[in-house]
């Protein structure tokens, strides 16, 4: 007995099968002649019945013939016995006449004679030895209606019995009625069963129990009567006429049965042709539907009320990297759910099974068979059968991974455009500042030169003051050159490449950052290869690249406890055509970031950083046909390196086509850089 809390049985979700198409011109399915099988089987059945009836009819005929022969033999024996008895009575009469010397006048009163006449004797004639009639009973002179002549009026031929008179000579001849013989000696049941005739050798009827001739279709049999009736034959013809088997009621029924089966087969054939046409139309429609489903860019799936997948179209299977057969029948958790989002996917599944899926659809994340993550948009709808019962859920699935990627790309492009706008504004401000700072720096240089000249004319100038003023003039001139090169860089002018010493450029960059290194407690280690060839670079720009890498290393080491070490090295690249500058530290490292990510515009891990330092450094290095790279240090920390080309003998200062090295519009020098 079911519990009151048990759920009612759920209807099966019936999904129409895929259509079966023609293969090599042959239909996949049963033969079209199935409708004829009932008719053929009926014909076989009727043929068997007919054979049985023919055999039964033959057996019945044989049995009736055997019975007829048996009855004929039995009746012949009875009639022969009756005639023998009559002959014995006639013999007794002859003996009695001989024993009592009966006179002809007393012959008519003989008891045996009268008894025989009462049976079927017609007359008895006493003939002497000379063949003369001694006495005859009944006498021919008696009237026809006399009692003694009653039996003489019977139709049919009479038979004769004769015996010799002992001692006196002569014969007693008894004429008997064959018809009465049959009436008295043939049993009633045999007379009702057969037409009985006594015939002679010429087929003339001697006596018969019926009038008329034997019919042609009657079953009959003849038996000779033997000595008691020489030249006589006993014929029995059966009154039961055996109807031919083809005229019997079973054959009529079989004929009607065949007609009904033929009509049913014809109707079945029409029905099968109609079904075949409908099936062909269904196959065509199903093929069209399948083709349309397979050509759609929308995935379709059907689930029953338990959440089991019962139908998946090819688009969805291809979307997930499976075959439809691999997904049909699968129960949650589904193989395309993300492993780290199983709980959330199960909650969403239970919500959908409860009919609470958003009508406007919802987004989800699935996993391709090869591990790729897919962004999908799902629209759920109720699935009902032909009776209107709710049997499951049908969902349309859109792959929006590319759309999401495009949206993200557009968002990044919008952010990039905004940053570019700000950068352009910043470039304009930096160009204006460079123009405005050029005059104060020129004034500082002029005033510093005037003060130096005045001090030098003093009889006893202070050497310490003169050294400070000289360094002030050098720094002001260097600042002026930096401002000039930055202005030229921002106005897309060609860098001033010249022959230079990479070690000297690196030392100048390190000297600019010594104050920051001392402030952060960073120990510097320089490993400069004195055998390096000269390089073809813009010293100011390359110096800014080296200085930016050293500054970034100092910023990264500022948060590290313990020993903070910085190592700067110059060496010749393996190909011998470039010089490599390497800056390594024992800081926190890159955190798994690559050079592409670190050099991405506006990417920065510093709160006050703009995220343009390494991007501009990379642009400067690539402008010199070099490469900027970054990697994790073996003992911890980061290693940044860049390469610049060596000076070749055929290189001439100032000879370079500016069109070969276009400057990016967003190039600028910043003291900030991204560093994880």
Question: pLDDT tens across 82-134, in order?
Answer: 888 888 988 998 888 888 888 888 888 888 888 888 888 888 998 988 888 88
The tokens describing 543, both together, are 């110096």
Q: Which residues contact 89 (CB under 8 A, 6 or more apart)?
A: 112, 115, 116
pLDDT of residue 604: 60
Q: Where residue 619 falls among pLDDT bands split at 50, 70, 90?
A: confident
Q: What is the pairing mode between strands 578-585 and 638-645?
A: antiparallel
Mean pLDDT across 623-627:
87
Query: Which pLDDT does position 598 carry in this prediction?
Result: 77
**No. of H helices and E strands in the chain?**
16, 20
What DSSP designation does 165 have?
P
**Where is pLDDT greater, at 16 or 382?**
382
Q: What is the DSSP secondary structure assignment for residue 121, as one 8-state letter?
A: E
Cα–Cα distance for residue pair 255/251, rounded to 1 Å = 6
Binned at pLDDT 50, 70 and 90, residue 588 comes out as confident
* pLDDT score at 641: 92
Strands (E) in 165-282, as ranges, are: 171-177, 194-200, 205-208, 220-224, 232-238
| 3 state SS of 628 | strand
Would you say residue 63 has pLDDT above 60?
A: yes
- Residue 297 tokens read as 């860019």
Q: Residues 130-152: pLDDT tens digits?
A: 888 888 888 655 554 555 554 44
| pLDDT 10s digits, 319-332 | 899 998 999 999 99
| Residue-level pLDDT at 366 | 93
CA-CA distance, 293 to 15, in Å (whole number)?
A: 14
Q: In what side-by-side order are the strands of the sheet with 373-384?
A: 309-312, 299-304, 390-399, 373-384, 362-367
Q: Is the pLDDT of residue 9 over 80?
A: no
What pLDDT shows up at residue 489?
57
Ramachandran angles phi, psi of 204, nearest 5°: -85, 140
pLDDT at residue 32 in the model = 66
Q: What is the pLDDT of residues 429-464, one digit of tens each?
A: 666 666 667 667 777 877 778 877 877 777 777 777
Confidence tier at 623 by pLDDT (50, 70, 90): confident
Average pLDDT, the chain: 79
Q: Residue 493: what pLDDT?
A: 53
**Residue spans of beta strands (DSSP E) within 282-348:** 299-304, 309-312
Helix axes 178-185, 36-100, angle to 10 degrees: 110
Residue 289 has pLDDT above 90, yes or no: no
Give residue-wise pLDDT tens across range 211-264. Answer: 888 888 788 888 888 777 777 888 889 888 777 777 888 888 888 888 998 888
- Write the DSSP symbol of residue 15: -
| % the chain with pLDDT above 70 | 81
Enter the DSSP assignment of 26. Answer: B
Res 658: pLDDT: 38
Give the span between the Cα atoms of 74 and 76, in whole angstroms: 5
C-alpha radius of gyration, the chain, whole number: 70
Look at residue 308 in the predicted model and tell me its pLDDT: 92
Least confident of 79-88, 303-312, 631-640, 656-665: 656-665
Q: What is the pLDDT of residues 458-515, one digit of tens each?
A: 777 777 777 777 777 777 777 777 776 666 655 555 667 889 999 999 998 898 888 8
* Best CA proximity match to 507, nearest among 536, 477, 546, 538: 546
Q: Which of 312, 296, 305 is nearest to 383 (CA)?
A: 305
- The mean pLDDT of 162-187, rounded to a whole number, is 86
Asked whether the predicted pLDDT for residue 34 surpasses 80, the reply is no
Which segments of 368-487 are extended strands (E)?
373-384, 390-399
Angle (nearest 5°) at CA 507 between 501 and 511? 150
Phi-psi region of 575 (alpha: psi -120 to 50; beta: other; left: phi over 0): alpha
Hunting for tokens 């033969």 — which residue is that? 31
User: What per-residue confidence (pLDDT) applies to 504?
Assistant: 92
Q: What is the pLDDT averaged over residues 654-674?
A: 37
Helix, coil or strand: residue 672: coil
Q: Which residue has the higher pLDDT, 609 or 648?
A: 648
Long-range contacts of 309-318 (CB under 8 A, 24+ apart): 309/334, 310/13, 310/15, 310/392, 311/15, 316/397
Q: In terms of pLDDT, which residue wins out, 527 or 458? A: 527
> Average pLDDT of 547-563?
85
| Sign of torsion over alpha carbons 582, 586, 588, 589 | positive
Residue appearing with tokens 């003992």: 635
Listed in order, strand segments (DSSP E) in 321-473 are: 362-367, 373-384, 390-399
In which band, very low, low, confident or very high, does the pLDDT at 569 lie, cut at 50, 70 and 90? very high
């Amino acid at each position: 007995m079911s519990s009151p809390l048990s759920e009612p049985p759920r209807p099966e979700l019936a999904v129409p099968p895929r259509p079966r198409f023609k293969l090599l011109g042959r239909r996949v399915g049963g033969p079209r002649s199935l409708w004829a099988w009932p008719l053929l089987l009926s014909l076989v059945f009727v043929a068997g019945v007919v054979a049985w009836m023919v055999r039964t009819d033959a057996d019945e005929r044989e049995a009736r013939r055997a019975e007829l022969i048996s009855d004929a033999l039995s009746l012949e024996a009875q009639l022969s016995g009756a005639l023998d008895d009559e002959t014995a009575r006639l013999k007794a009469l002859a003996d009695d006449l001989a024993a009592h010397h009966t006179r002809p006048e007393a012959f008519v009163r003989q008891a045996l004679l009268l008894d025989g006449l009462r049976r079927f004797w017609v007359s008895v004639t006493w003939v002497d030895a000379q063949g003369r009639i001694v006495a005859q009973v009944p006498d021919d002179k008696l009237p026809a209606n006399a009692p003694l002549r009653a039996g003489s009026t019977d139709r049919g031929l009479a038979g004769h019995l004769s015996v010799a008179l002992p001692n006196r000579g002569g014969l007693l001849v008894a004429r008997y009625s064959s018809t009465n013989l049959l009436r008295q000696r043939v049993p009633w049941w045999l007379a009702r069963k057969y037409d009985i005739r006594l015939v002679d050798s010429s087929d003339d009827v001697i006596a018969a129990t019926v009038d008329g001739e034997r019919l042609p279709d009657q079953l009959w049999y003849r038996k000779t009567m033997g000595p008691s009736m020489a030249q006589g034959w006993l014929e029995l013809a059966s009154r039961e006429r055996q109807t031919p088997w083809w005229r019997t009621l079973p054959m009529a029924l079989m004929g009607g049965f065949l007609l009904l089966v033929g009509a049913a087969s014809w109707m079945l054939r029409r029905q099968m042709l109609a079904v075949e046409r409908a099936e062909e139309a269904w196959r065509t429609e199903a093929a069209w539907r399948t083709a349309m489903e397979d050509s759609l860019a929308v995935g379709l799936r059907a689930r029953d009320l338990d959440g089991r997948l019962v139908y998946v179209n090819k688009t969805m299977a291809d979307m997930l990297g499976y075959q439809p057969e691999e997904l049909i029948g699968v129960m949650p958790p589904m193989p395309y759910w993300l492993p780290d989002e199983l709980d959330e996917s199960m909650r969403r599944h239970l919500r959908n099974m409860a009919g609470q899926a958003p009508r406007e659809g919802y987004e989800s994340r699935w996993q391709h068979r090869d591990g790729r993550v897919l962004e999908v948009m799902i629209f759920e709808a109720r699935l009902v059968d032909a009776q209107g019962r709710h049997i499951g859920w049908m969902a349309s699935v859109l792959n929006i991974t590319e759309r999401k990627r495009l949206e993200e790309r557009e968002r990044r492009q919008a952010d990039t455009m905004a940053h570019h706008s700000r950068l352009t504004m910043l470039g304009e401000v930096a160009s204006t500042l460079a123009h405005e700072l050029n005059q104060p720096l020129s004034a500082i240089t002029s005033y510093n030169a005037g003060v130096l000249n005045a001090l030098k004319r003093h009889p006893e100038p202070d050497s310490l003051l003169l050294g400070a003023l000289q360094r002030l003039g050098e720094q002001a001139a260097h600042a002026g050159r930096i401002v000039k090169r930055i202005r030229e860089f921002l106005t897309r002018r060609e860098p001033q490449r010249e022959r230079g010493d990479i070690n000297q450029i690196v030392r100048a960059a390190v000297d600019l950052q010594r104050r920051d290194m001392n402030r952060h407690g960073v120990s510097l280690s320089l490993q400069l290869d004195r055998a390096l060839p000269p390089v073809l670079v813009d010293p100011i720009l390359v110096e800014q690249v080296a200085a930016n890498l050293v500054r970034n290393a100092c910023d990264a080491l500022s948060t590290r406890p313990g020993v903070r070490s910085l190592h700067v090295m110059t060496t010749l690249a393996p190909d011998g055509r470039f010089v490599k500058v390497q800056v390594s530290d024992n800081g926190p490292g890159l955190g798994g970031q690559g050079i592409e990510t670190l050099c991405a515009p506006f990417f920065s891990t510093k709160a006050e950083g703009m995220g343009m330092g390494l991007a501009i450094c990379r642009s400067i290095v690539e402008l010199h046909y070099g490469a900027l790279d970054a990697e994790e240090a073996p003992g911890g920390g980061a290693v940044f390196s860049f390469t610049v080309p060596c000076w070749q003998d055929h290189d001439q200062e100032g000879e370079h086509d500016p069109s070969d090295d276009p400057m990016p519009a967003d190039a600028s020098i910043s003291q900030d850089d991204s560093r994880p």
